[in-house]
Structure 1
Amino acid sequence: MTTPHHSLPVRAWGVTATAQPLEPVTITRRELRADDVSIDIEFSGICHSDIHTASGEWGEREYPLVPGHEIIGRVAAVGDAVTRYQVGDRVGVGCFVNSCGTCEPCLAGQHSYCVTGPVPTYGQPDRYADGDITRGGYSQAIVVKEDFVVRIPDTLDPAAAAPLLCAGITTYSPLKHHGAGPGKKVGIIGLGGIGHVAVKIAVAMGAEVVVFSHSTAKREDALKFGAVEHVSTADPDFAMQWHGQFDVILNTVSVDLEIPTYLSLLRFDGALVALGLPAAPMQVPTRLLTSQRRTLTGSLVGGIPETQEMLDFCAHHNITAEIELIVASQINEAYERTINADVRYRFVIDASTF
């Protein structure tokens, strides 16, 4: 039964023009449709892609732009056709809020690979006829189609679980796809907001995990999260030591790396998976791929069924992100600190402060 919950203004934080600081804004959420869930937001994580988008690096948007795709809250109302959720349930929303639903990836539950493109949680027109611009989780409330809502297990701390809606599924999906588990050796490049979650998940899957990082500052953290070794890539001989040893390497950083160096670390049939989005194209000697049937590939976030699977996995293994909880007035400072890698490891906003 639909609880009365008409189109309503909500407080949010967003960007009102390209590359401007975030500030308080008021936005309107759509009226509840039959298949919609209205969510009162409790926590919203800050992802580096929020910063890229807000700064205008990824192109002009319609303003106000309200970022945020790591959303956790409580169901406030449901549409008449909603069957999986009821008022009071704790739920989450990740990177996408709609897709075509009919293409091969969508039918396989891999919504992020929708052939015509999934609808991001913020900054683009939705697929509905009214074409409203999606606005994200830096707000008091959001209305989302039921099919793009996931359940947050009760045992997970909701604030620390928020980054799992992006960092968690971004790493769980390729680790699962490439067979991370007992007897496999996994490399993680970078120990940031995504990388630290990747280590925890890969360890919980049973893999032997090694972290590659330019700095040695996070060595103790890497070992605490379960890695067997933390390798400084500033050492010019590091690649020789680890040559041909890894089944899977996740590249979680968005800087231009010497990709051939990391390909050389792969064993027969190993895969180097790009998760970050560096500006420059990759250049790879073909022989590095052919000689050991190595794979250079990439991965987006997973679909909705896999996101739920990841959350249940993290609940079973007691995995959450390492976070710093902030209030809304600290968002711009948090953006600067994220750019300067001055956070261990993710900022999450207390939505009650919007």
Structure 2
Amino acid sequence: MRRRIKFSSISDKVGVKISFNKPNRQWLRWTCGVCAFCRSGRENLCPNSIYTGWDHDGGYAEYATVPEAFAYRIPAAFKSNTAAPLLCAGIIGYRAYKQAQLPAGGRLGLYGFGGSAHLTAELAIAQGIEVHVFTRGKDAQNLALALGAASVQDTYDPSPVKLDSSIIFAPVGNAVPMALESLAPTGRLVIAGIHLTDIPSLSYDSHIFHEKVLTSVESNTRKDGEEFLTLASRLKIHPKITEYPLDQADKALIDLSHGDVQGANVLRVSEG
């Protein structure tokens, strides 16, 4: 049975995904609710899951219908354009950040510094984590420093310190050996992307020994989204965005592919 979303006032906003100003659509659209993963709080691994913009329309759209149970209420602190990156890039980064299992005051490495990584950096720094960024491009490096990163270097440079955990956002398998080598004993490396180029051969002694952990992230749960939006509002996370009108969507994608982006790109499909 389909149900309509009810609002307490006409100004209530709900989030429904990624970098668009209205409505905001989350990536995870539906899960079955009955499989072993759904029943154990891991609905992100549901084999029957449906995703916005992949399995169902609603990516480049001004309006969309969504299942009520999969819509997020957007905190009042965010306008539609700044809320947009939170609902895909932000939530995925948050899940990867949780997977990193950092100790209080720990050291975190971030490989790549786009829409997801810069939000993760803001969150981590606000919680007292020491963040070290590995990325190409002066704009991305300057943004990392402006947000409070302890150090910034090229993607393949060695870390200036041993790291408790690292997250790879760049879809580059060649970064994995260096990231593993930069971890302290028991360190964790989390791969946050949906795609990664082939990982080169690893040395057990240099990359895996000392109880290091290599893991990945697949999508997110609704609980991840609710937690992250609450934290983002409380910690006053400010997404760095570049807006494009819908008729410049091709340019936004080209700029993204060339790395000519600071933070996240947002498509404005309507005014307001």
| Range moving further from structure 2, 282-291 or 224-233 | 282-291
Match in the other structure for 1:246: 163
Trace 1:1-354 onto structure 2 (pairs within 5 A).
34-37=2-5, 69-70=18-19, 73=22, 92-114=24-46, 116-124=47-55, 134-180=56-102, 182-233=104-155, 238-239=157-158, 241-242=160-161, 245-276=162-193, 277-352=195-270
Q: Deviations over 1:85-117 (max 9, x none)?
A: xxxxxxx43112111111233234432211x24
Counterpart CA distance in 1 for 2:58 and 2:90 is 18
Indicate the structure whose relative CO is greater, using CA pairs within 8 Å and at least 6 residues apart. Answer: 2
Counterpart CA distance in 2 for 1:123 and 1:298 is 20
Counterpart CA distance in 2 for 1:289 and 1:220 is 30
In the alignment, is the contact (CA less than 8 A) between 2:20 and 2:266 conserved in 1? no
In the alignment, is the contact (CA less than 8 A) between 1:110 and 1:304 conserved in 2? no
1:306 is paired with a residue of what secondary structure?
A: helix
In the alignment, is the contact (CA less than 8 A) between 1:37 and 1:143 conserved in 2? no
The one-letter amino acid paired with 2:235 is H
Q: Deviations over 1:283-328 (max 9, x none)?
A: 3223345521001111123201210110110001111321112211
Match in the other structure for 2:10: none
Q: Deviations over 1:248-288 (max 9, x none)?
A: 10000012324222111111111111112223245322334
Counterpart CA distance in 2 for 1:73 and 1:309 is 22
Decide which structure has the larger Cα Rg and report it. 1
Counterpart CA distance in 2 for 1:166 and 1:231 is 26
Report the alpha carbon displacement of residue 167 of structure 1 after superposing the two structures with TM. 1.0
Counterpart CA distance in 1 for 2:215 and 2:115 is 21
The one-letter amino acid paired with 1:93 is R
Counterpart CA distance in 2 for 1:117 and 1:241 is 43
1:329 is paired with a residue of what secondary structure?
A: helix
Change in CA separation of 1:94 and 1:240 when aligned onto 2, cut-off 3 Å: closer
2:189 is paired with a residue of what secondary structure?
A: strand
Counterpart CA distance in 1 for 2:165 and 2:214 is 10
Counterpart CA distance in 2 for 1:156 and 1:218 is 23
Counterpart CA distance in 2 for 1:350 and 1:170 is 22
Counterpart CA distance in 1 for 2:172 and 2:208 is 25
In the alignment, is the contact (CA less than 8 A) between 1:196 and 1:345 conserved in 2? yes
2:142 is paired with a residue of what secondary structure?
A: helix
Report the alpha carbon displacement of residue 346 of structure 1 after superposing the two structures with TM. 1.6
In the alignment, is the contact (CA less than 8 A) between 1:259 and 1:283 conserved in 2? no
Gaps of 5+ in 1: 1-32, 46-67, 75-91, 125-133
Change in CA separation of 1:44 and 1:346 when aligned onto 2, cut-off 3 Å: farther
The one-letter amino acid paired with 2:174 is L
In the alignment, is the contact (CA less than 8 A) between 1:71 and 1:94 conserved in 2? no
TM-score, length basis structure 2: 0.87
The one-letter amino acid paired with 1:274 is I
Counterpart CA distance in 2 for 1:188 and 1:290 is 19
Report the alpha carbon displacement of residue 194 of structure 1 after superposing the two structures with TM. 1.8
Identity percentage of aligned residues:
25
The one-letter amino acid paired with 1:225 is L
2:131 is paired with a residue of what secondary structure?
A: strand
2:266 is paired with a residue of what secondary structure?
A: strand
The one-letter amino acid paired with 2:256 is T
- Comparing both structures, which one devotes a greater share of its residues to strand? 1
In the alignment, is the contact (CA less than 8 A) between 2:21 and 2:270 conserved in 1? no
In the alignment, is the contact (CA less than 8 A) between 1:36 and 1:144 conserved in 2? no
2:254 is paired with a residue of what secondary structure?
A: helix
